[in-house]
Amino acid sequence: MNPTALIAEDEPLLAQALKAELAAAWPELQVAAIVGDGHSAVREALQLLPQVLFFDIRMPGLDGLGAAAELADRWPTDEAPMPQLVFVTAYDEYAARAFETQAIDYVLKPVQPERLRKTVLRLQQALASQPQHAKPAAADEALERTLAQWRQLLNAAGAGAGAANGGSAAQAATAPLKMIAASEAGGATVRMVPIDQVLYFEAADKYIRVLTATHEYLIRTPLKQLLTQLDPEIFWQVHRAVVVRSAAIEAVHRDEAGKLHLDLKGRPEKIPVSRLYGHLFRAM
């Protein structure tokens, strides 16, 4: 059976150009669908279950990073292996980070045939290495390898987005946040909240909820930008929308569907863990 792909690109001419170049570089590849936004990308990918995803990083509504993170959680691994993920971008900075982390690849706009052929070769090698009719242990190992590549891609692209919004990895390494100016419910009062009191952050619509043991505040900083200002040894991203204080994690539970949830000291709610970050809680 020929491999299939889904292209998510909000610029129709660029999407058609990528499809045409793929047809030349990889004639056996069937482009199952082309969509123009992240929500459509998630919906069509879950319906068509392609082997390869070409996601534009910047799309309306849900961007390529958000679409990939949502698919990582919702992909039915009992029906099809996790697909290979390739981000499409106009910015060289993402490509440089991808190569540093040895993730699968990026495709730069406008598409360059020679560069795309190298990407195709790497994708073909990755698909060929996937076990066919594998035993559960081998299938789990293959899934973890693919998830690790997705994490590398998302981390590289997320760091680039944070820098583009005014932060930088270097700044985060030398000057992590100590205090956060956050609004109370209603927005009439702003409090200076010591970072040491924060148990977790949760993205919600246009805001981020800042939760301490006894209070909830709101900030408007995008989560990907906030992450660049937090000490990664202290705060762990466990879901595309949630960052927790690692020292506040009291217990990890797995439900009947195999999904992980956290109990935090001082908070009653269960915190979901994305499949992408499940490796953080694997028993040593």
pLDDT tens per residue, range 47-74: 999 999 999 988 888 888 889 989 998 9
Q: What's residue 159's pLDDT? A: 58
Confidence of residue 89 (pLDDT cuts 50, 70, 90): confident
pLDDT > 90: what percent of the chain? 55
Q: Which of 70-74's residues contact partners 24+ apart within 8 Å by CB, and which partners? A: 70/42, 70/240, 71/42, 71/45, 71/46, 72/147, 72/150, 72/274, 72/275, 72/276, 73/240, 73/274, 73/275, 73/276, 74/42, 74/46
H helices within 204-244, ranges in order?
A: 223-227
- Mean pLDDT in the chain? 86
Which of 30-34, 185-189, 274-278 shows the highest mean pLDDT?
Answer: 30-34
Asked which of 58-67, 170-179, 191-200, 246-255 is least confident by mean pLDDT, the reply is 170-179
Phi, psi of 148 (to 5 degrees): -65, -40
Other C-beta atoms within 10 Å of 108: how many? 18
More confident residue, 278 or 152: 278
pLDDT tens per residue, range 95-131: 655 555 555 677 878 888 988 998 999 899 989 887 6
pLDDT tens per residue, range 130-162: 766 656 667 777 788 888 888 877 777 665 555
